[in-house]
Structure 1
Amino acid sequence: MLNRRHATLGLLATLGLRPAFAQSSFPGGRPIRIIVPFAAGGSSDVMARGLGKQLSDQMGVPFVIENRPGAGGGVAMEQVARAPADGHTLLYGTIGTNAVAPVLFKNLPVDPAKDLAPVSLAALNPSVLVVHSSLPVNSLRDLIAYAKANPGKLNYASAGNGSISHLATELLKSSAGIDMVHVPYKGGGAASADLLAGNVSLMIETITNAMTLVKTGKVRAIANSGSKRSPSAPDLPTFAEAGLPSFVVDSWTGIFTASGTPTPVIERLSSEIAKASREPAYRQSMSNIGVEAASSSPSEFANFVRAEQAKWGKVVQATGTRIE
């Protein structure tokens, strides 16, 4: 009987399969790594650490955060894609790395659609359109009317070519039928500084950073890009409420792992993230930084990512922005 059992396990290994008891014992007491495609201290890093702590409390194993910036997320994606397909190495992916980068960069080291398996949505982080206080507009309709009366005279800042702040504003331009000049910066900090100085007229920035800018009194918040109002700025209307019903840009983050990871492992991770998203203390910690904790099934997340890639692929194509 022992020899027969060993033979069965050997056959499973030869076929690239894992016995059911190995899957059901995940994570087996082993630490789980979350690879973040950005440097420590940024918003994605903060969100990943918050989720990792919550999952560690739930699952009883350490969740170790590793920062691997570079190549538009390509460095982190490659590390996860090349890791053993056992659910112990996860990617904290974003709208930028997993929806925009595949259509923006011509030579990513991996194909996210083939090499990474979607696990679950993790958080929604809407952006806000902010304008310098010298601009004579107080609403989205005011801004659109002003831009149409002054084509090409408004400058908008972004964190760089191909960034969400760039592509979201290009989507705004096409949705509203207005013409504005793009001024790319090397990061959101430099863009925000020039907006505060009045060197550019407006920008679309994450809600956390945008509301910090608003507190200076030098800029005004016009509209929230998300699908619903944010608890961080409950009086700020969405773009849909303000007159552009088709404009929705929810910056998002989510968990991916290596393709080929057993389905029961992916489903376990997804269910734990869903449990975390319902935990009041964790939800509040995300809300404190302007983020909404979220979750989804693996299939829902896969469909969502495909739709996001198609959406931003059209914007990238329209702007002619491709990076070697």
Structure 2
Amino acid sequence: MMNPLIAGRRGLLAAAAALPFLPHGAGAQTGPAGAWPSRPIRFIVPFAAGGNSDVTARLFAARIASRLGQPIVVENRSGATGAIGTEAVIRSRPDGYTLLIGSPGSIINGPLLTAAPRYDPIADLVPVALLGQVPMVIVVRPGLPVRNLAELVAFSKERASGVTIGTSGVGGANHLPLELFKAATKANLVHVPYRGGGSTLPDFVAGNVDGLLIELPSVLDLQRDGRGRILGVASPARSPQVPEVATFIEQGLQDFLAASFVGLFAPAGTPEAVLQALQAALAEAAADPEVRSRLASFGADPPTPAELTTPGVAAFLQGEMAKARQAIAVAGLKPE
């Protein structure tokens, strides 16, 4: 089942793959000839539709199209843990018409876990803004005889075949937290990588994988209707959306935090004026009470003022890179 944001916009999302987000009103201004933007803008989501990145991209695209005076088309190009869509943006003209919706898999983990990465996210992209962050969770099938993280660990060690846990892919946003959890608990968990967070849900619901390490929004409905059981939330405090679920820290995993960010990125060399126009539109959207309500409805934290600037996002990414490198070392992972 779709997460709350998708459920609240079924009609819009059903057609979103084919139709752009149109500006409201017939009299939207595009500025003088040659000024940006003078034609539709594309947001490339390098993962399958329905995941956290996709939903957040569509939320903001719908809000800023009217301010910018041009349609925004959200296009999903999944594959290679986000590398295919990311490369498409990097190779595009730096004119502000092809932009990337980036997340930890494509911006942080993927490049660090690839022996010969095909792009450098720091050199090849310029950060425009963060759009939000959501905590990660471990969710299991309701038939699995476990109700918390300790029981999951114990059960996995007793089961010869272990417990299968799906993620968004090798090097994806969820991969490193899973490896850290395994290293910290010695749980017998078998990693099952998929092509994006949205691709994991059908297999999970069908019972083909025992559990998922995934963003909270993607499985809120499964928790609420009994088709999944969230065992822990990797946030500093319990989520208001699932207050009955203890955090990883409460369950004995000291300082265990894992969140997935969604950000907007442009090819290196994009004009500063374009970046500033985008940031102004995104800041207005982030302050919109409806947008903030939607983000809160699925446990996402809205961007801070600093995270709506290029220097602020750059500093954030440097910190995320450092944490990811430490996690890779702790988990003993080698680039492939």
TM-score tier (shorter)? 0.7 to 0.9
Is the 1:147–1:178 Cα contact (8 Å) retained in structure 2? no
Corresponding residue SS for 1:242:
coil
Give the unaligned 5+ runs of structure 2.
1-30
- Kindly state the Cα deviation for residue 198 of structure 1 after the two structures are TM-superposed: 6.9
- Kindly state the Cα deviation for residue 195 of structure 1 after the two structures are TM-superposed: 5.7
Partner of 2:322: 310
- Kindly state the Cα deviation for residue 236 of structure 1 after the two structures are TM-superposed: 2.6
Partner of 2:192: 184
Is the 1:102–1:309 Cα contact (8 Å) retained in structure 2? no
Question: What's the CA shift string for 1:108-154, capped at 9, x where partnerless?
Answer: 4321110100111112122212244455544345555x369859874
Counterpart among 251, 254, 274 of residue 263 in structure 2:
254
Counterpart among 116, 128, 137 of residue 119 in structure 1:
128
Instruction: Check if 1:207 corresponds to 2:216.
Output: yes
- Kindly state the Cα deviation for residue 309 of structure 1 after the two structures are TM-superposed: 2.5
Is the 2:156–2:163 Cα contact (8 Å) retained in structure 1? no
Counterpart CA distance in 2 for 1:149 and 1:232 is: 31
Give the unaligned 5+ runs of structure 1.
1-21
- Kindly state the Cα deviation for residue 47 of structure 1 after the two structures are TM-superposed: 2.1
Is the 1:147–1:153 Cα contact (8 Å) retained in structure 2? no
Counterpart among 277, 285, 307 of residue 268 in structure 1:
277
Question: What's the CA shift string for 1:151-207, capped at 9, x where partnerless?
Answer: 987424123433333321211223x34232324154567865676677765432221
- Kindly state the Cα deviation for residue 31 of structure 1 after the two structures are TM-superposed: 3.1
Higher helix share: 1
Is the 1:167–1:316 Cα contact (8 Å) retained in structure 2? yes
Partner of 1:322: 335
Partner of 2:166: 158
Is the 1:36–1:66 Cα contact (8 Å) retained in structure 2? yes
Partner of 1:9: none
Larger radius of gyration: 1
Bigger shift: 87-96 or 250-259? 87-96
Question: What's the CA shift string for 1:11-33, capped at 9, x where partnerless?
Answer: xxxxxxxxxxx9xx963544332
Counterpart CA distance in 2 for 1:56 and 1:148 is: 48
Question: What's the CA shift string for 1:211-249, capped at 9, x where partnerless?
Answer: 333345364322212344334323333323433241111
Counterpart CA distance in 2 for 1:31 and 1:191 is: 31
Structure 1 vs Structure 2 CA RMSD = 3.3
| Percentage of pairs with the same residue | 34
- Kindly state the Cα deviation for residue 55 of structure 1 after the two structures are TM-superposed: 0.9
Counterpart CA distance in 2 for 1:76 and 1:138 is: 38
Question: What's the CA shift string for 1:52-101, capped at 9, x where partnerless?
Answer: 11111223232222333233322322232233333332111111111111
